[in-house]
Amino acid sequence: MNSPHPKVFRLLGESGVDAKVHDHEAFATRISSPQDFADALGYSLRRITKTVFLRSKSSSERYAVAVCGMDRKLDFKAIAGSVEPPERMEVASADDLDRITGYPKHGVSPLGLPAGVEVLLDESLLDETTVLVGGGAAGVEIELDPSDLAAIAGARIAKITQFAVTS
């Protein structure tokens, strides 16, 4: 069984929050997309999150992550107004992601990040009973209450999405 990144695993243990680890390989059906994952769990796609690693457009050493449901589109203008102090952000490179967090491109987690990496959590996630975030390893997701996620990630709650994506 695949496990969360050691930093994520340690933070979950220390926090004492109720969380469940989901390994994509443990499902009877192949998980090759967020929709496959939602379908395998019988959940709405809005409970499956994406965590986007961002960097400042003006400072090469300022980073943040934005977390929202897969059914939503990030609003970079809203993100710029939500980081503290406000600043325009862009998607960081895979090299920055690896160097700063140690997480792979398809395993970004809002948990266990280094000090100074700000976490923005879309307010729409608070409407869900649980949400699933990356576990710091590809194919590993952590399911937990969104309020617990905000607390242990030290997240700022903000409206950082424009609208729900329809298919």
End-to-end CA distance of the chain: 33
For residue 128, tell me if it sits in a domain: yes
Alpha carbon 103 to chain centroid distance? 12
For residue 1, tell me if it sits in a domain: no
pLDDT confidence of residue 67: 98
* pTM of the model as a whole: 0.95
How many structural domains is the chain composed of? 1
Residue with tokens 């100074």: 116
Q: Which domain holds residue 104?
A: 6-164
pLDDT along the chain (167 residues), means of 10: 93 97 95 96 96 91 96 96 94 95 94 97 98 96 98 98 75
For residue 39, tell me if it sits in a domain: yes
Residue type at 107?
A: G
Q: What is the CATH number of the domain that holds 123?
A: 3.90.960.10
For residue 87, tell me if it sits in a domain: yes
For residue 118, tell me if it sits in a domain: yes
For residue 144, tell me if it sits in a domain: yes
CA 2 to CA 28: how far, in whole Å?
15
CA 165 to CA 128: how far, in whole Å?
17
